[in-house]
Chain A
């Protein structure tokens, strides 16, 4: 009963927040656009209007699944670290360096590349994770600062190790065909990375809900003091959950690079770490629901892109929608009154049942 009620209220608050955000979008469109109906149509039906655009939605969804999972693991332990953003970037960099330096056979190349990307991503999280777990240094600020360092590091490696001087823009040499992930659907870029993403969803869900470690992570998030007194090693939990988050985000970076790009060319974080937080909130921190959250965010992202091309509304509208959704879901107190009444009601029911039984 209790768990059902929780799930119901989570779903309700997400639903209301999404609705409110779309309403605000509607208002913005009608205020700003000369042809609001056209713009709205582009926003809503644009992503499913052609095969290519449907492909775009799935392509945009894949990296969001990874960073969404990373954020879920960290949020479950109440660790608000942004390291996923940096891990994603450096994970991809690690993969690029590996596949450019070593001539690996097909299948082995992407596999090794992705594993290395994950490991590098995990290593990125060591400093913010350790400082938080050991001395309670604010993980948000430290990871934010550390991400800047990682960006400069990436630019350094790109310039001095893998840069292709003959390329017209700042980018690495072309990645070998052997390493690239296969395209699954013709006329789109939907690549084999989607299997990796769904695999990670399953693994992370099992890890969080069926293993002792996952249980410890959730306990530390619910009540760190209680977790500590009941014998959970809170230091290891806080330390490890950021590293696991970095690992998953790093894999995401590798998959995105090998699936979507011909060269490594990022000179800044692509920002998927941030978006992953929105996805995690939409999924109520439940890894199993991450694909749905990622799909939704990918859909409105492609929708605003289509709208930007057909009307005068810039695609930054997506940030506004994203922000409103985030703030409204976390402010679920607007539902707490109803929730409170429901709790009392169900308690009374139970009491009645007990009375009747005796």
Chain B
């Protein structure tokens, strides 16, 4: 059995699928990083992903251009994040409730719209939608093992990795990025030096919406070609978990997303083994809970240490 396991895991197609499966979680994970840094737990990522997944399909089918489809889905996602921001920041609504409400509307609204457009509640097969192209990378393509894994991925997969690097620079090396983190750490202190907390959070949620849009587009125009009802199936929440595991940093979250992707791909290919399928399908979720637990333990220990330190100083 162990041998069988090895032959599954150590194949190039397995590694290729990890990258593919992880992409939406990496992108949505970045959405979680930015908002969480600004002190907003953005549960609406799931709903924004779902809405942009449908928008991408509909617009690309209508305009015959994947690029306009992508653009439209980014716009709708950003628009939704601004609505969320308005309710949280201007109307002081509860963040989690607002996120849940947006998810509920998105879940029903996408099926509602799909039914009105195609007469089908399940899938968008009636729409001839396009996909974001896959890229063959010239030199890497010819390297034996690495080429098979890294080349031929979806354009959005490469974009995801580049954006992780850019987001890292943005958060740690630009004024705006540092402000966002400061707002999340201590909003009152930031307010006291004359920076608008509200504006900063708006900015963070806007970026979060952009990343959610990319993640959603990948779902319907890369991972699959076409929209199916509730196709994000909790990836927005897994992204929040990946962000917890990755300790609110872009690279950490990328790593967590890859671990999740690996567990997910493994659960797909391990189904040939004699363990009941359902237990294998639990692996990714169990991994995530374990990751969150370890992170939370570490964080609460750290807090305790600082507390005792401060008490001793007095």
Residues of A within 8 A of B (CB): 32, 80, 127, 131, 134-138, 140-142, 144-146, 148-149, 152-153, 155-156, 159-160, 274, 277-278, 281, 312, 314, 316-320, 322-324, 326-327, 330-334, 336
Residues of B within 8 A of A149 (CB): 282, 285-286, 289
Known: A330-B93, A330-B98. A141 touches B282 (CB 8 A): no
Q: Is the CB of B101 within 8 A of A323?
A: yes
State in angstroms the CA–CA spacing of A134 and B190 once bound together: 30
Residues of B within 8 A of A (CB): 41, 43, 87, 90-94, 96-98, 100-105, 107-109, 111-112, 115-116, 121, 234, 237-238, 240-241, 244, 276, 278-279, 281-282, 285-286, 288-289, 292-293, 295-297, 299-300
Q: Is the CB of A138 within 8 A of B240?
A: yes
CB distance from B37 to the nearest CB of A (A): 15
Known: A135-B296, A319-B108, A333-B92. A141 touches B244 (CB 8 A): yes
Question: 9 additional contacts, CB 8 Å, given A131-B296, A330-B87?
Answer: A135-B297, A137-B296, A149-B289, A153-B282, A274-B100, A316-B121, A319-B109, A320-B109, A330-B101
Residues of A within 8 A of B91 (CB): 331, 333-334
State in angstroms the CA–CA spacing of A160 and B279 once bound together: 13
CB distance from A297 to the nearest CB of B (A): 12
The 6 A-B pairs with the shortest beta carbon distances in the complex, nearest first, are A319-B108, A323-B105, A331-B93, A326-B101, A327-B101, A331-B91
Residues of A within 8 A of B285 (CB): 145-146, 148-149
Known: A142-B292, A326-B101. A320 touches B112 (CB 8 A): yes
State in angstroms the CA–CA spacing of A327 and B116 once bound together: 25
Q: Is the CB of A316 within 8 A of B112?
A: yes
Known: A135-B296, A330-B93, A331-B93. A142 touches B108 (CB 8 A): no
Q: Is the CB of B105 within 8 A of A320?
A: yes
Q: Is the CB of B281 within 8 A of A319?
A: no
Q: Is the CB of A131 within 8 A of B101?
A: no
Q: Is the CB of A314 within 8 A of B121?
A: yes
CB distance from A54 to the nearest CB of B (A): 25
Residues of B within 8 A of A148 (CB): 234, 282, 285
Q: Is the CB of A127 within 8 A of B289?
A: yes
Residues of A within 8 A of B300 (CB): 134-136
Known: A149-B285, A326-B104, A331-B93. A141 touches B278 (CB 8 A): no
State in angstroms the CA–CA spacing of A278 and B297 once bound together: 32
Q: Is the CB of A323 within 8 A of B104?
A: yes
Chain B CB within 10 Å, residue with most, of A160, A314, A323, A334? A323
Known: A145-B288, A156-B279. A327 touches B108 (CB 8 A): no
Q: Is the CB of B293 within 8 A of A146?
A: no
Residues of A within 8 A of B286 (CB): 149
Q: Is the CB of B241 within 8 A of A145?
A: yes
CB distance from B233 to the nearest CB of A (A): 9
Q: Is the CB of B41 within 8 A of A131?
A: no
State in angstroms the CA–CA spacing of A148 and B280 once bound together: 12
- Nearest to B295 among chain A residues (CB) is A137
Q: Is the CB of B121 within 8 A of A324?
A: no
Residues of B within 8 A of A134 (CB): 300
State in angstroms the CA–CA spacing of A323 and B87 once bound together: 13
State in angstroms the CA–CA spacing of A187 and B105 once bound together: 34
Known: A148-B285, A274-B104, A330-B98. A131 touches B293 (CB 8 A): yes
Residues of A within 8 A of B94 (CB): 330
| Contact with A138, one of B93, B244, B276 (Cβ below 8 angstroms) | B244
Q: List 6 A-B contacts (CB under 8 A).
A: A135-B296, A136-B296, A136-B299, A137-B293, A142-B289, A145-B289
State in angstroms the CA–CA spacing of A320 and B238 once bound together: 24
State in angstroms the CA–CA spacing of A141 and B285 once bound together: 11
Q: Is the CB of B240 within 8 A of A324?
A: no
State in angstroms the CA–CA spacing of A327 and B91 once bound together: 10
Q: Is the CB of A331 within 8 A of B105?
A: no
- Nearest to B241 among chain A residues (CB) is A141
| Contact with A80, one of B96, B116, B240 (Cβ below 8 angstroms) | B96
State in angstroms the CA–CA spacing of A278 and B112 once bound together: 20
Q: Is the CB of B104 within 8 A of A322?
A: yes
CB distance from A84 to the nearest CB of B (A): 13
Q: Is the CB of B289 within 8 A of A330?
A: no
Known: A153-B278, A327-B98, A331-B93. A137 touches B292 (CB 8 A): yes
CB distance from B32 to the nearest CB of A (A): 10
